[in-house]
Structure 1
């Protein structure tokens, strides 16, 4: 029992401290493990508090706290739990930043809180904040729909066909009127990830009345970039042709993504009808109405040296499988260098503790967008957010989901797509 107590004290206590002050190791594979560890603590602090209480009850039952050393550990652990409460409140306060960005787009003056509205105790608000496995009961999923043509599927290996499929999420009580469409592209550094990841954003938007499409794409390990961008545009082609059968409005599609998926989403939005990325369907309209980015990679050229100096080389050789660093190619595939005066509106989120994809990338993208484009861009700095904060059911992800919902509906209503 004493071993379990020591692991509880030092492991969780260390992670709680590191989630606020920690840095990433230099080894790339360890970076992803570290990011997940940080996010587990920063997004689910209440669960860790419950775990600690349970261990303490058991330790007390077995008489562990009879020595002065174990009592010192007990005091240290109480301080850790106080820190976890502070971490929870830090995430809870993310609503302020998100509300400020979209306050002009909704009739609801305030976001729901833990104390302001007693009605939150009679619905799912608390479930969304404290239950990491919460799934809305009125959301239905249509899974693993192939979005490529027979000829395109014939060109890929059998084990890659699952990569060219999508899932559709929509509310069971589908109304007669068409609904806005949200096309989501998962992240994972172009080499990992899956559309089936339980993003709270997908479930919330579907429950709130949008038609949500989550796509897979061939990973760079089997298909060098820009195969991923081409696949995303193939999925968009399918959505425009077919989504009406699922209650979605093909004339209003918002594309979104996180990390590397945000990179692809931004390029989909910024390169409409570009024949270079539409082989075999060059004449198909691949324009969208807006884009949502979460901790997105918006500059693979890394001209301003915002992050580690070898990233451009990594993207060129490991993702695009080029023999040399081709600066023209990297610039062409950096969203920040594809902004145009008529680019569609953007909503950009980035956690200010993201040490995998630097926060400054999104800030640079926002500044350039404002200089070049006539469209609106909203940039929201998420307090305390690590790179994958949005993949956890937590206050940050919940308020972010509400903000994205309000922003999309604002664009949809103002564009009179109803």
Structure 2
């Protein structure tokens, strides 16, 4: 019958294709909805959370380079000449981007809780390769050490902090400050004594580059721009944090989202610290936790989970700087 009516055959085929197309569209829409509904709502921008009770000075040069500048934030109520425990924060951005101004509202929130908080810029890759950034943040720490009283900095109570790539930088500064062997390997002289660094904060941080040869896309590009290779095992080991940790590494606070590809290495790093008998405070979430918590989730302050991380971070810094 159909053989005698080719037009009917064509009509049936066309209808089938149309129905298949509709079915695929519906399936894709459902899948897209399920995926996006699992992701967090970014909510209000970070700057909307910045308190009005904090003041500071921006773009203070700590060196001659165009990006060798820092911002200092502290409570408006702080009297001249008074100092507070000081958090020194290196921003993220894959070592090739980012700026202290982007995390300034978060740093102001921390300052509002009774700390002096310093945001540090550093030279970006690929124009500046590792370990330039580590040297610069180390130099910024030295600058703060010298100008402590005028900047409300308590140089006996530094907490080194960073997010993403910035976490790798500050963790290396903490390592070279507490591990003379690593400082010698890197060729960087520490500018403060180990006892001056009372804590480390690593938010969504990069701590292990040994598997960089398996990175793809922008992550691979970022590592190549920063280090120069994803296959030089000795260089990747030098730029990692985990191999250089000793029992002298400062008490550490870590977090990573359950949908962050860096989460496995951050959790492994926390286990290494504990094996070295370093005190660790952590904020992690179960694999099936909803919403999915992406890289740098801690800055999405509309999330209960980000607020939980913020409270935990503040409690940790308070505990480590308490006298």
Q: Tell me which residue corresponds to 1:164.
A: 68
Larger proportion of helix: 1
Q: Tell me which residue corresponds to 2:21.
A: none
Q: Following superposition of structure 1 onto structure 2, how do residues 339-378 of structure 1 map, counting pairs within 5 Å?
A: 339-354=245-260, 357-371=261-275, 373-378=276-281
Q: Tell me which residue corresponds to 1:137.
A: 52
* 2:228 corresponds to 1:321: yes
Residue segments in structure 1 that go unaligned for 5+ positions in a row: 1-11, 22-37, 48-129, 154-160
**Distance in 1 between residues matched to 2:31 and 2:73, nearest whole Å:** 38
**Distance in 2 between residues matched to 1:43 and 1:283, nearest whole Å:** 39
* Count, aligned residues: 283
Q: Pick from 95, 107, 110 the counterpart of residue 205 of structure 1.
A: 110
Is 1:169–1:202's contact at 8 Å kept on the other side of the alignment?
Answer: yes
- Relative to the length of structure 1, the TM-score reads 0.61
Q: Following superposition of structure 1 onto structure 2, how do residues 14-413 of structure 1 map, counting pairs within 5 Å?
A: 17-19=34-36, 41-44=40-43, 133-148=48-63, 153=64, 161-175=65-79, 177-272=82-177, 274-275=183-184, 282=189, 284-285=191-192, 287=194, 288-302=197-211, 308=215, 314=221, 317-322=224-229, 325-354=231-260, 357-371=261-275, 373-382=276-285, 384-394=292-302, 395-413=304-322
Residue 326 to residue 249, structure 1, CA distance change in 2 (3 Å): same
Larger Rg: 2
Residue segments in structure 2 that go unaligned for 5+ positions in a row: 1-28
Residue 16 to residue 234, structure 1, CA distance change in 2 (3 Å): farther
> Which digits, 9 at most, give the CA deviation of each residue in 1:117-138, with x for residues without a partner?
xxxxxxxxxxxxx986132111
Report deviation, 1:222: 1.1
**Distance in 2 between residues matched to 1:379 and 1:238, nearest whole Å:** 30
Q: Secondary structure at the match of 1:42?
A: coil
Task: Judge which range, 161-170 or 197-206, deviates more.
Answer: 197-206
Report deviation, 1:141: 2.2
Report deviation, 1:315: 5.9
Is 1:301–1:312's contact at 8 Å kept on the other side of the alignment?
Answer: no
**Distance in 2 between residues matched to 1:194 and 1:346, nearest whole Å:** 24
Q: Secondary structure at the match of 2:129?
A: coil
Q: Name segments (4+ residues, structure 1) moved above 6 Å.
A: 12-16, 309-313
Backbone CA RMSD of aligned residues = 3.0
Report deviation, 1:224: 1.1
Residue 139 to residue 334, structure 1, CA distance change in 2 (3 Å): same
Is 1:317–1:325's contact at 8 Å kept on the other side of the alignment?
Answer: no
**Distance in 2 between residues matched to 1:286 and 1:312, nearest whole Å:** 34
- Relative to the length of structure 2, the TM-score reads 0.78
Is 1:233–1:278's contact at 8 Å kept on the other side of the alignment?
Answer: no
Is 1:343–1:374's contact at 8 Å kept on the other side of the alignment?
Answer: no
Report deviation, 1:311: 9.1
